[in-house]
Structure 1
Amino acid sequence: MSEVHVDLVLDPVCPWCWLGHRYWMAAQNLVPDIPVETVLRPFQLDASIPKAGLPYQDYVKKRFGGDDSGRFKAMREHLEAAGPEAGIVFNFDEIPMRPNTTDAHRLIRWAQGQGKGADAAEGLFKAYFEERRDIGAASELTAIAEAIGLDANLVAELLTTHRDKDVLEREERFYRSLGVAGVPCFIFNGAFAVSGAEAPEVLADAIRKAASLPPEEDA
């Protein structure tokens, strides 16, 4: 079986993405004989949010109709039930800000260049959903960078620039052009996709399928 390349499209303020990221790590453990390369790709669920962010509860009320709306309540109950088994804690009630995630995506990109993309994603998810930190703030992003072993001073300096914003915008436009409308989305060898936080067993089957594709079908 050949190596499998997966583009994992996500947004660090998407709770399903944290669940999906954990399931993805578990899935790879189910197929240890198949080498897998994962590249995290950017997707903003709401790019209209200002750089300073918006108060979380106000945002939820406007977007979903509030915590008590049927749609949000059902989503929240499912996530809070599924989270503990995956080692995840969701503290929806105490999240202070809904940030713009451009800079968080930049941090993931820079970390990925150092082989620490998964660490950055996990650090961002945990900071936002469990520790209730504003991951749109440069100070928080710098702290996360330092915690995963990146040069905090360099990251702080880069965050004051527009470095890689254009690259991320192009990447997101590309994945939207492919039909990605929600995250997480796992694209296997450029040949097929699995959308949503599917169970590890489902993702492991997708890895096996991708690994068995003839070379001419690989992208």
Structure 2
Amino acid sequence: MTQPFGSAPLEPFPIKVIADVMCPWCFVGKRRLERALERLPHIEAVVTWWPFLLDPTIPPEGMDRGEYLQKKFGSSDGGEMYLALREVGREDGIEFAFDAIERSPNTVDAHRLIYWAGDPKTQDAVVERLFQLYFLEGADISDPDVLADAAAEAGMDAEAVREKLADDRDRDTILKMVEEMQKAGVNAVPAFVLGGKRAVVGAQPVDLLQEQIELAEEEFRAERYEPD
């Protein structure tokens, strides 16, 4: 939409992504969102990441991966679900290395790190690296050293992150944010909140995401720049 003559600069279009970095569909959803936005260069979007706990029953130290998958899917290797996910991943440029994963993590600390990242670009870099570490390299993303290294790669202060991870600061904040998302009706991820109102749930096709972003952006602009 064209900026009204003589008005203030257009406000960036907000996209809130509710996700968990141990969720493979969230990694797929991130790739599809990126492709949808690449098709819409005229839309200045600001993407922020919000926490969700795919399985809040996982203990703080994590669980053996085979044990977790057996409990969740009835198969220690994820069975047909993971076979299908591998194919989906390849279509979106993700080579899932599920066999390399030894631990299913509790992701509260990973979400704390994302929260501390602050600005959207750093947040995105942290989220991307956590997805890569877990799904491509099989790293334990509940390990403070792994998280500190990821922070450093995203341009954050690794030692400051280590210090924060050593205590409980902002843990309650993350849990409250998760609770807020659940109260708002989010019970599956990824979930994309477009412009504060329109929501898309699931790793939907790129065409659908593009369409919904365009519609939401038009609604967002109309609310702010309609003439009196």
Gap regions ≥5 residues in structure 2? 2-9
Contact 1:112 1:118 in 2 (8 A): no
Determine the structure 2 residue equivalent to 1:5. 14
Cα distance in 1 between the residues matched to 2:141 and 2:44: 32
Determine the structure 2 residue equivalent to 1:49. 58
Determine the structure 1 residue equivalent to 2:7. none
Gap regions ≥5 residues in structure 1? none
Aligned pairs, number: 213
The 3-state SS of whatever aligns with 1:193 is strand
Letter in 2 for 1:32: P
Return the index of the structure with the highest Cα Rg: 2
Determine the structure 2 residue equivalent to 1:92. 98
Match of 2:49 among 16, 40, 43: 40
Contact 1:11 1:43 in 2 (8 A): yes
Determine the structure 1 residue equivalent to 2:206. 200
Determine the structure 2 residue equivalent to 1:19. 28
Q: Residues 81-101 of structure 1, C-alpha deviation per residue, up to 9 Å, x if partnerless? A: 121232212111221000100
Contact 1:49 1:100 in 2 (8 A): yes
The CA deviation at 1:112 is 3.3
Q: Residues 142-199 of structure 1, C-alpha deviation per residue, up to 9 Å, x if partnerless? A: 1111122211111111101212112211111111111110100001122121011112
Cα distance in 2 between the residues matched to 1:150 and 1:42: 19
Q: Residues 19-52 of structure 1, C-alpha deviation per residue, up to 9 Å, x if partnerless? A: 0011111111110101111110000011121111
Cα distance in 2 between the residues matched to 1:113 and 1:159: 19
Match of 1:185 among 172, 175, 191: 191
Determine the structure 1 residue equivalent to 2:73. 64
The CA deviation at 1:114 is 7.0
Letter in 1 for 2:223: P
Determine the structure 2 residue equivalent to 1:79. 85
Determine the structure 1 residue equivalent to 2:223. 215
The CA deviation at 1:134 is 0.4
The CA deviation at 1:67 is 4.2
TM-score under structure 2 normalisation? 0.88
The 3-state SS of whatever aligns with 2:200 is strand
The 3-state SS of whatever aligns with 1:25 is helix
Letter in 2 for 1:29: E
Letter in 2 for 1:48: T
Determine the structure 2 residue equivalent to 1:173. 179
The CA deviation at 1:13 is 0.3
Percent identity for Structure 1 against Structure 2: 36
Task: Kindly indicate whether residue 167 of structure 2 is the aligned counterpart of residue 161 of structure 1.
Answer: yes
Cα distance in 2 between the residues matched to 1:29 and 1:162: 38
The 3-state SS of whatever aligns with 2:121 is coil
Cα distance in 2 between the residues matched to 1:74 and 1:199: 21
Q: Residues 81-132 of structure 1, C-alpha deviation per residue, up to 9 Å, x if partnerless? A: 1212322121112210001000000111112347311111111111011101
Cα distance in 1 between the residues matched to 2:118 and 2:49: 8
TM-score under structure 1 normalisation? 0.92
Letter in 1 for 2:149: A
Contact 1:4 1:207 in 2 (8 A): no
Cα distance in 1 between the residues matched to 2:106 and 2:184: 23
Cα distance in 2 between the residues matched to 1:154 and 1:114: 19
Contact 1:11 1:45 in 2 (8 A): yes
